[in-house]
């Protein structure tokens, strides 16, 4: 059943509808040709987006090194920061609106943003940072972190944004792996009325640092952005790296995905314009962090299109549960990105308020349940706002799938991404409809990661080894003949907590640092409010639950504090030694465990089932 059904007139008024009409075709025809003819499609997208190259590209794409190593817009020169900031240096339009949890508010025009970005770029450059160097950004998502992000890109360095809730171990791991030579950070920020100390992480890591603080032993951020020097934008090539985002580390340490100035900018701007339908007077707010993919995505996409982004780095339910409604209403937010978890929490608490100013909702990070989707559309959105449910990942800094205002929508649905060649394959590598299979991309797209940082073989193994020259994304889903998709979660063990993604091995490493733990496994389990919560199973001395929870909180950050820490007799494994996380999760939740013929640990699986009855089901 379709809940959102745009009229022909409404479709014609969307950015996507106008784009299709300018090409003399329908939206449906545009989707078909975009997949079929990328060399025709992408230059027309660039023209419609109004993006500026310093030097026009010679070729749309280059497959000479093989499909997995596709290059885009080769021979061209383009810089993300120039397109999002410097080219608007004479504009007094509002680029960024910021509000802190304690009520401080500020606005920044494009001209002011350009001045501060230029000053910080100059300071960074004077510290010896240049093209290709990595700079870690460990800050809450506010106006200053936006300035820092753009300043790094302006001089051709590579921004390495990290989740502001990470603890010292998670930050250090990413800094060491990326080889970052400078960190830009904050002393603290406020969350639920409490000061979150970030300076201790910087002192523990002890590297060259710029800190946003009134008083600090490090170079002060305010001094850096107050300088009068101007550094010219680096005329980076289309394939020069711009951003390194870390994956969740499902099978080991987190891996650095590498995104370039040309492909990342073009695809992000495409998605914000056509999926979120951003127009001249829109204000976009996405509940996220600069360290998650959606932070850079929202920031770059909004500013490249000369829009206004609203940033807020506090709790959306403090000091009042309806704080998010105040934020949206008071700042005139028209495009709001939020997770299913946020909607479930609002529904669980109950409210009489609605998002009156919002005309398009965005959502990503976790699958929807039908009840929550309908609640967002029918109640919170008053049956008027479309839901752009998007799905992609850190590894493509974009979306393979996305519903949008030009497409009719039914609960939980996604739609094929424009120009992304998304499909569902079965185990044999055949395209299938109305059958659960693997989400894949049949052809490269511009924003795909250019390998994994210092790990060429892992890149090929992860994305290109299951089906020849086909990107394997790792999600289970199904599609129909009309272009609609439904996803059912990852085909690996990745953990998603309130839209945040982390691999079990990274958390398990924290657990194993607790004296008395001999073995452990970490999974996520369903929660009626949060969607998913963390559960830790360990072998070792009794009475370690509190210490284990604290170790994870300190090392990974408070959002990852486990809801359950359970001591068991041993960790269920396959006969060749692989931990059976899926089986552990299913047994604890009272779900069918499936085929367990490849294990000798049936007694432990039953033990976990019994523990789950006590902890979750009270049976």
Task: Please report the pLDDT score of residue 336 as a whole number.
Answer: 98
Please give the Cα distance from 72 to 70 (Å, whole number).
7
Task: Please report the pLDDT score of residue 493 as a whole number.
Answer: 67
Task: Please report the pLDDT score of residue 577 as a whole number.
Answer: 59
pLDDT in tens, 555-576: 888 888 999 999 999 999 864 4
pLDDT more than 70, % of the chain? 95
Round the average pLDDT of the chain to a whole number and report it. 92
Model confidence at 498, pLDDT cuts 50, 70, 90, reads low
Q: Within 10 Å of residue 194's Cβ, how many Cβ atoms?
A: 12
Higher pLDDT, 357 or 488: 357
Model confidence at 280, pLDDT cuts 50, 70, 90, reads confident
**What angle is formed at CA 25 by the lines to CA 38 and CA 358, rounded to 5 degrees?**
90
Q: Within 10 Å of residue 481's Cβ, how many Cβ atoms?
A: 7
- Mean pLDDT calculated for residue range 40-45: 98
pLDDT in tens, 517-552: 888 899 989 888 878 899 999 999 999 999 999 999
pLDDT in tens, 251-269: 446 789 999 999 999 999 9
Look at residue 89 and tell me whether its pLDDT is greater than 80.
Answer: yes
For 277, phi then psi, to 5°, come to 60, 40
Tokens of 62: 């280059």
Task: List, in sequence order, every residue forming a beta bridge with 500; answer none if it has no partner.
Answer: 497
Note if the bond before 211 is cis, omega within 30 degrees. Answer: no
Task: Please report the pLDDT score of residue 619 as a whole number.
Answer: 40
Q: What is the CATH number of domain 43-484?
A: 3.40.50.12780
Please give the Cα distance from 45 to 35 (Å, whole number).
13
Q: Is 135 helix (H, G, I), strand (E, B) or coil?
A: strand
Q: What does the domain layout of the chain look like in residue ranges?
A: 43-484, 495-617
Is residue 547 within 8 A of residue 608, CB to CB? The reply is no
Classify domain 495-617 at the CATH superfamily level: ANL, C-terminal domain (3.30.300.30)
Task: Please report the pLDDT score of residue 526 as a whole number.
Answer: 87
- Beta-strand runs (E) in 426-530: 437-441, 471-479, 484-490, 495-497, 500-502, 517-527
Task: Please report the pLDDT score of residue 85 as a whole number.
Answer: 98
Is residue 587 within 8 A of residue 607, CB to CB? The reply is no
Task: List, in sequence order, every residue forming a beta bridge with 310; answer none if it has no partner.
Answer: 97
Identify the H or E element spanning 294: helix 294-304
Which residue's entry shows tokens 């998603």?
Answer: 496
pLDDT in tens, 321-370: 999 999 999 999 999 999 887 898 898 888 999 999 999 999 987 778 78
Model confidence at 249, pLDDT cuts 50, 70, 90, reads very low
Q: What distances in angstroms separate CA 113 from CA 117, 160, 212, 353, 515, one per listed residue?
A: 6, 20, 16, 34, 49
Is residue 363 within 8 A of residue 384, CB to CB? The reply is no
Q: Is 198 helix (H, G, I), strand (E, B) or coil?
A: coil
- Mean pLDDT calculated for residue range 182-187: 98
Model confidence at 497, pLDDT cuts 50, 70, 90, reads confident
Q: What is the DSSP letter of 613?
A: I
pLDDT in tens, 286-325: 999 999 999 999 999 999 999 999 999 999 999 999 999 9
Look at residue 42 and tell me whether its pLDDT is greater than 70.
Answer: yes
Task: Please report the pLDDT score of residue 252 as a whole number.
Answer: 47
Is residue 209 within 8 A of residue 182, CB to CB? The reply is yes
Please give the Cα distance from 74 to 67 (Å, whole number).
15
């Amino acid at each position: 059943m379709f809940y959102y059904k745009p009229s022909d007139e409404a479709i014609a008024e969307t950015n996507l509808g106008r784009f299709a009409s300018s090409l003399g075709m329908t939206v449906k025809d545009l989707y078909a040709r975009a997949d079929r003819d990328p060399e025709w499609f992408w230059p027309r997208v660039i023209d419609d987006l109004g993006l500026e190259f310093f030097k026009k590209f010679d070729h749309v794409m280059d497959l000479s090194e093989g499909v997995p190593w596709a290059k885009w817009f080769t021979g061209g020169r383009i810089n993300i920061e120039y397109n999002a900031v410097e080219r608007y240096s004479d504009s007094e339009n509002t680029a960024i609106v910021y509000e802190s949890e304690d009520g401080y508010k500020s606005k920044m025009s494009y001209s002011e943003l350009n001045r501060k970005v230029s000053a910080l770029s100059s300071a960074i450059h004077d510290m010896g940072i240049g093209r290709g160097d990595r700079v870690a950004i460990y800050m809450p998502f506010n106006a200053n972190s936006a300035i820092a992000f753009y300043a790094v890109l302006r001089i051709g360095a590579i921004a390495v944004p990290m989740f502001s809730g990470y603890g010292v171990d998670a930050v250090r791991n990413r800094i060491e792996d990326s080889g970052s030579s400078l960190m830009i950070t904050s002393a603290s920020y406020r969350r639920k009325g409490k000061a979150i100390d970030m300076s201790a992480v910087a002192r523990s890591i002890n590297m060259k640092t710029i800190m946003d603080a009134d008083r600090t032993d490090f170079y002060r951020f305010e001094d850096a952005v107050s300088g009068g020097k101007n550094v010219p934008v680096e005329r980076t090539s289309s394939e020069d790296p711009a951003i390194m985002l870390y994956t969740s580390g499902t099978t080991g340490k987190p891996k650095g995905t590498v995104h370039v100035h040309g492909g990342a900018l073009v695809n992000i701007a495409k998605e914000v314009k056509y999926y979120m339908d951003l127009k001249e007077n829109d204000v976009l707010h996405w509940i996220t962090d600069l360290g998650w993919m959606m932070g850079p995505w929202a920031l770059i996409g909004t500013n490249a299109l000369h829009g206004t982004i609203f940033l807020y780095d506090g709790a959306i339910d403090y000091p009042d549960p309806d704080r998010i409604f105040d934020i949206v209403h008071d700042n005139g937010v028209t495009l709001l990105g939020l997770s299913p978890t946020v909607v479930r929490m609002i529904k669980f608490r109950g409210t009489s308020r609605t998002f009156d100013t919002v005309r398009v909702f965005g959502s990503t990070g976790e699958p929807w349940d039908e009840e929550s989707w309908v609640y967002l559309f029918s109640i919170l959105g008053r049956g008027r706002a479309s839901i752009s449910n998007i799905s992609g990942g850190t590894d493509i800094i974009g979306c393979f799938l996305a519903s949008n205002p030009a497409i009719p929508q039914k609960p939980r649905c996604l739609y094929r991404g424009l120009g992304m060649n998304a499909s569902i394959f079965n185990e044999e590598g055949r395209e299938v409809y109305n059958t659960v299979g693997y989400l894949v991309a049949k052809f490269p797209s511009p924003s795909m990661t250019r390998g994994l940082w210092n790990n060429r073989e892992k890149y090929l193994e992860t994305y290109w080894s299951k089906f020849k020259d086909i990107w394997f994304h790792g999600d289970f889903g199904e599609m129909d003949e009309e272009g609609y998709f439904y996803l059912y979660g990852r085909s690996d063990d990745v953990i998603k907590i309130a839209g945040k993604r982390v691999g079990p091995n990274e958390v398990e490493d924290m657990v194993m640092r607790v004296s008395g733990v001999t073995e452990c496994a970490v999974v996520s389990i369903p929660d009626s409010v949060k969607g998913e919560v963390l559960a830790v199973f360990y072998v070792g001395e009794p009475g370690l639950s509190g210490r284990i929870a604290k170790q994870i909180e300190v090392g990974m950050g408070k959002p990852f504090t486990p809801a359950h820490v359970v001591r068991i007799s041993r960790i269920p494994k396959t006969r060749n030694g692989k931990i059976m996380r899926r089986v552990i999760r299913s047994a604890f939740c009272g779900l069918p465990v499936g085929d367990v013929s490849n294990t000798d640990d049936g007694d432990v699986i039953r033990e976990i089932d019994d523990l789950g009855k006590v902890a979750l089901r009270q049976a």
